[in-house]
Every structure is written in C-alpha cells, then in structure tokens.
Amino acid sequence: MNLSKEIECTVDLTITDAVESDVRDLIHSAAAEHQVDVKYLPINNYRITVTFGDDLGGAQALVSRADRLADDDSD
C-alpha cells in the first residue's frame, strides 16, 4: 500500500481588548516553530494567523492557550 498525505492547517485568531503581554506570549509560543503573521488593529485588537502545516497538535495547543487567556480575562 502507498499513502500520500497533505495537510495544511492554519489558525486565524481575532483578539479584541487584549493585554499586550498576553498576545506577545501567544505569538512567541507559536513563532518558535511556525510561520506567524500579526496584524495590529486599533485599540488593543489583533489578528493573528499561524500556519502549522501538518502540526495539528500545535494548532490545537495554540487555540487552547487563547481560550484559557480569554477565560482568565473574563473572570
């Protein structure tokens, strides 16, 4: 049997009313191994796009970290 696979995973996060240090930590954690594009929007808002390739676990980990930050901020 021969198998060929191609997985391209991209995560787009839009973060509003963010604490700059939290966003910096998210970017730093993703940028160590993946391509990261950050757009700075007005009034502490950010659009972060991370290309993970076939690293689905890395994508899920980033989304989980972002969810935790949002949950912590809402408390």
Model confidence, pTM: 0.80
Q: At what angle do helices 56-74 and 20-31 cross, to 10 degrees?
A: 170
Identify the band that residue 6 occupies on the pLDDT scale cut at 50, 70 and 90. Answer: confident
Structure tokens at 66: 């972002």
| Per-residue pLDDT at 36 | 93
Max CA-CA distance within the chain? 54
pLDDT score, position 2: 87
What is the rounded distance in angstroms from the CA atom of residue 45 to the CA atom of residue 56? 26
